[in-house]
Structure 1
Amino acid sequence: MVGFDPGVQGAVLSAGEAALAGSAAGMVTRALISPFDVLKIRFQLQIERVSSYRQEGKYWGLFQAFRCIHSEEGPSAFWKGHIPAQLLSICFGAVQFASFEFLTEAVHNSTSYDSQTAGVHFLCGGLAACSATVVCQPLDTLRTRFAAQGEPRVYRNLRHAVFTMWRSEGTLAYYRGLSPTLIAVFPYAGLQFFFYNILKQMLASSPEAGKSRGNLRSLVCGSGAGMISKTITYPFDLFKKRLQVEGFEAARLHFGQVRRYTGLMDCMAQIAKEEGVRGFFKGLSPSLLKAALSTGFTFFWYEFFLNAMSDAKNRRRANGLTKDVEER
């Protein structure tokens, strides 16, 4: 294992096993942080003029938004779009971590750079996330639309959403928002791996420390890395969400004003003109909570599953050696 050092000696894990651990980490994490994702998306898609920033929007505070969604749509609303979101997390986690391990191993084997340095992790983490984004963008668009729609629902289920978008908007609809996503995902994911590497070195534990302490360190370092990287790259996430709901205005009328954008630059210009620079950071509070939990849990569960697989390999190896000795 070149990219990560889970602290277990002996068994070397493959890119396929890294993909399996990444998928499992994404699945568990998504189930835990879905409500924050729904809150973030609702804030990001809300249109308010600068002069009346607090009055025009349906949602104006984190707890107020939580109570409003709960009372109007029920508890299940916080898991709207959960199926495409889960598919997205599983797919993204698999591609991202498998690519990351592959890239760091390539750097380790073909260059003189130390694959454990923060700089290498930034580059490999960013490229791995770009690969995962291209593969998983349709699922991200579906997830955003499910989380964005109110009642009555436009899309009954995932199958209905896929066919409705394809018939009414064409194949390119699944890739709306890809440009700002790719622009943002490279530095965002790169910074996640970069700061995770740095924070883990700063909070390095002694070799005698137990696995529970090491897992807690992964959670803390991942949370810190997620919050820092999210704050730096947040506006591009907002642009992506606004572009992903193009052609979906009917489902948004219940929440207030809607806008149409011709592209990324038009989206940026309209937000700056109508909502000010502060508009680029709408939904930042729930997004930071989500980023802290999401990134922290992702790294926590990723290393947890890596350790579990490595332990299983070591046990099988030990059992095999024991049998060989007994046979001799």
Structure 2
Amino acid sequence: MITHSKDKQLKQMFAGGLSAAITRFTCQPLDVLKIRFQLQVEPLKSSAVESKYKSIPQACRVIFKEEGLLAFWRGHNPAQVLSICFGTTQFWTYEQLHLITKQTPYLRDRPNFSNFLCGATAGGAATVVVSPMDVIRTRRIAQDKNKGYTNSFQAFGNIIRTEGPRGLYRGVVMGVVQIAPLMGCNFMFYRLFTNTALEMKGVTDRKQLSTVLLLSLGAASGMCSKTIVYPFDLIKRRLQIQGFAQNRQTYGKQLVYAGAINCLLSILREEKLIGLYKGMIPTLIKSGATTAIHFSMYDKLSQIVEKL
């Protein structure tokens, strides 16, 4: 079986990690808004007096007033490590699997299914790798000002001491359930859209497509994918803050769930179906921007490192 050379694999990992780092720094404020919205039980509407956050503009004003500008990058350090590790693992795994599928007749003849399968597997593997950093990031974003963890290293030690290793993997099953189809759809849609663009422009290589077009195709891919799997992401976030209620007293009603199914049923009972889509607007903006930057940057960086 043909495999990529070690040099090529290192270049793929470098391109994946660097594109992830650039994407994370750019989109972190949207991630903060998304997570704050996801963890709020009260309605996200201007008429809800009891709600801390009511809309994107109002939430931005409240966060800036109460916590300052840097609050929009709260949890950025673990998030950045998470993104680099996730991007490196995801793109490296995808490229190796994609090469294998090209040598498998059944998958070679079904490119959309092949891209979905490779992307889903790569996303699932990366999710397991970065789960501890994801839990720490979520809790640091969700905690009250001057409460909870002072930094990521202290958070890591505290979770290990009080909850055991299991605490670092809260919500990981739901994370894989959400990320696997999300990444599968991301890769499938992106490859499908770019292949369609190649045919329409009469060219044969993505290198010949403009950065603006790649950004647009990436944004469309991310928004389509995220809409499909969003409820799983919301449930994962809520499971990640179980046992952390004492450090987030100013965010409204506390969330206590026995597991993923109980969380789902509780949301449907207390917040109705729309509750599964809280934070959807900043999420779609973030997902579109993230996927656009991530995929287009990966393609461009891959072209650059290939020449090194």
Give the TM-score of the pair, scaled to structure 1.
Answer: 0.87
* 1:254 match: secondary structure: coil
1:253 lines up with 2:237 in the alignment = no
Kindly indicate whether the alpha-carbon contact (under 8 Å) linking 1:104 and 1:115 is maintained by their aligned counterparts in 2. no
The aligned residue for residue 56 of structure 2 is 62
The aligned residue for residue 240 of structure 1 is 236
Identical positions, percent: 37
Evaluate the alpha carbon distance shift between residue 210 and residue 234 of structure 1 in structure 2; reply closer, same or farther with a 3 A threshold. closer
Kindly indicate whether the alpha-carbon contact (under 8 Å) linking 1:179 and 1:264 is maintained by their aligned counterparts in 2. no
Distance 1:81 1:219 in 2: 26
Note the C-alpha offset of 1:51. Answer: 12
Distance 1:311 1:115 in 2: 30
Alignment of 1:153-232 (within 5 A): 153-204=147-198, 205-207=201-203, 213-232=209-228
Q: Which amino acid aligns with 2:279?
A: G
The aligned residue for residue 36 of structure 2 is 42
Note the C-alpha offset of 1:40. Answer: 0.2
Q: Which moved more, 1:31-40 or 1:250-259?
A: 250-259
1:63-121: CA deviation from partner (whole Å, max 9, x where unpaired): 11011101110000000000100000000001100000010111112435327822210
Task: Show structure 1 runs of 4+ deviating over 6 A.
Answer: 49-53
1:85 lines up with 2:79 in the alignment = yes
Alignment of 1:1-328 (within 5 A): 14-48=8-42, 54-114=48-108, 117-204=111-198, 205-207=201-203, 213-312=209-308
Give the TM-score of the pair, scaled to structure 2.
Answer: 0.92
Instruction: For structure 1, list consecutive stretches of 5 or more residues without a partner in the other structure.
Output: 3-10, 313-328
Distance 1:234 1:112 in 2: 31
* 2:253 match: secondary structure: coil
Q: Please identify the structure whose Cα radius of gyration is greater.
A: 1
Distance 2:57 2:261 in 1: 32
What RMSD, in angstroms, separates the aligned Cα atoms of the two structures? Answer: 2.4
Q: Which moved more, 1:26-35 or 1:180-189?
A: 180-189
1:128-187: CA deviation from partner (whole Å, max 9, x where unpaired): 100111111111111111111121231111111111111111110100011211111111
Kindly indicate whether the alpha-carbon contact (under 8 Å) linking 1:126 and 1:185 is maintained by their aligned counterparts in 2. yes
* 1:60 match: secondary structure: coil
Evaluate the alpha carbon distance shift between residue 49 and residue 222 of structure 1 in structure 2; reply closer, same or farther with a 3 A threshold. closer
Kindly indicate whether the alpha-carbon contact (under 8 Å) linking 1:107 and 1:115 is maintained by their aligned counterparts in 2. no
Distance 1:225 1:62 in 2: 23
Instruction: For structure 2, list consecutive stretches of 5 or more residues without a partner in the other structure.
Output: none
